[in-house]
Amino acid sequence: MSAAEVAPSRLRIRDLAGEGVAGLRARPARTALTALGTVLGVAAFVAVLGLTATAGGQIGKRFTALAATEVVVEDADEADRDHLDPAFTADADARVGAIRGVRAAGVWWPVGGDTAPEVGGVVLPGRSAPAQIPVIAASPGLFDAIRPGWSQGRAFDALHDRRGERVAVLGAAAARQLGVTELALRPAVFIDGVPFTVIGVLDGSARLPELMFAVLVPRHSAEEFWGRPGAGRRAKMLVETELGAAQVVAAQAALALRPDAPQRFTVVTPPDPRQLRDQVSADVGMLFLLLAGVCLLIGAVGIANTTMVAVLERVPEIGLRRALGARPWHIAAQFLAESAAIGSLAGWVGAAVGAMTVVAVALARGWTAILEPAAVLPAPLAGLVVGVVAGAYPAIRAARIEPVAALRR
């Protein structure tokens, strides 16, 4: 048979797939280690998208439950109206509480403020010097608005406030600083020499966490001993609303408090929870997607390095194949098939690991797992692309090896 009659060599898709699988099975340990980087990258990609969506739902839920139901009303009058015309009247809690959609409302202000820094010293009998603990005047409604936790005792009520009784509630940190550990013996703290019986100790609050470091007294008791709030010690009202009612309550609060002078108040409303949730989710998602991209890059480098080592180790085999009629692109396709198989396998495993991570974290935190199909389905394809791209250069190097030079080794 003449040279002109020799049929050109062919490489079928089935044969190419068999070569790729055979390359993986020939070195299983190396294949596993090579795929590990891509597995981690794809798993991180899927887990990040899933956890971002899952956490985004929780961010929205928690923000809606707290910040989106919180309205703050502040005394905006710059004049010193101490003892004359208080912005928040004695029945301020009831006035705002009558607005539809309000759950609780309470007034508070720091006793003393900037104009009298000595006010607020709190001492126990036998202490040689006052402790520097802030004193907060509060109406009874404030405790319902902050959603408190209690370690001991209870809050003062409307009767305590109306009668101006000398009772106090301590924040957890203030109680530790003052050494108040037990309320059974009815301990008293002294504020500028005036004794106040401790009836409760806060253990935490969803709002106004700074109250954990303060002593709270009824507003009318504070007014009796230290006067009403004025310049330097502005009063504020914290309002907790029903979900979705914050904007309506904010629009009506100032008029309900002072129909004769609603301009005396500045009302602070929460931002749109959906917009904030989307912004937070986008920022967090972008950060972790960058980390997932780094993992994929590391996996690609690992595949490229291992494929290049395989090319160098199999130079004699490449020379023999070329001598038997294999074309350069046959050699390149063989190594591309191996790297693509590694990447595809890593993509499937990584997608499974990422999905299981999302479910495990959601179960551990008591969340509802959210996995978008757009995050999971492209993961194997991403692994395949990483494998092909990583194996491109080693495959080209293998295709350029001359048969004669290869067989001499």
CB atoms within 10 A of CB 290: 10
Look at 284 and 372; give whichever has higher pLDDT.
372
Which percentage of the chain shows pLDDT scores above 70? Answer: 75
The answer, yes or no, to whether residue 363 has pLDDT greater than 50, is yes
Write down the pLDDT at residue 131.
59
Q: Enumerate the H helices of 206-327 as residue ranges.
A: 219-226, 246-257, 273-313, 315-323
Phi, psi of 118 (to 5 degrees): -75, -20
3-state secondary structure of 148: strand
CA-only gyration radius of the chain, Å: 36
The answer, yes or no, to whether residue 137 has pLDDT greater than 90, is yes
CB 143 within 8 A of CB 172: no
Q: Which two tokens stand for residue 165?
A: 């009784």
Q: How confident is the model at residue 130 (pLDDT cuts 50, 70, 90)?
A: low
Task: Determine which helix (DSSP H) or strand (DSSP E) holds 39, and give its type and residue range.
Answer: helix 28-65
CB atoms within 10 A of CB 173: 16
Question: pLDDT tens for residues 200-216?
Answer: 999 988 888 899 999 99
> Of the ranges 107-111, 165-169, 179-183, 293-297, which one carries the lowest mean pLDDT score?
293-297
pTM of the model: 0.54
Separation of alpha carbons 338 and 66, rounded Å = 54
Q: What is the mean pLDDT of residues 232-242?
A: 86
Look at 408 and 269; give whichever has higher pLDDT.
269
Separation of alpha carbons 202 and 239, rounded Å = 19
Domain coordinates of the chain in residue numbers? 12-63+275-407, 88-257
Phi, psi of 93 (to 5 degrees): -60, -45
How far apart, in Å, are the Cα atoms of 271 and each of 237, 241, 382, 392? 18, 14, 38, 51
Question: pLDDT tens for residues 23-78?
Answer: 666 667 767 767 777 787 788 778 877 777 776 666 555 555 666 788 999 987 65
3-state secondary structure of 201: strand
CB atoms within 10 A of CB 280: 16
Write down the pLDDT at residue 105.
94
Q: Which two tokens stand for residue 225?
A: 């001993």
Q: Which two tokens stand for residue 283?
A: 């920022």
CB atoms within 10 A of CB 25: 9
Write down the pLDDT at residue 277.
60
Write down the pLDDT at residue 377.
80
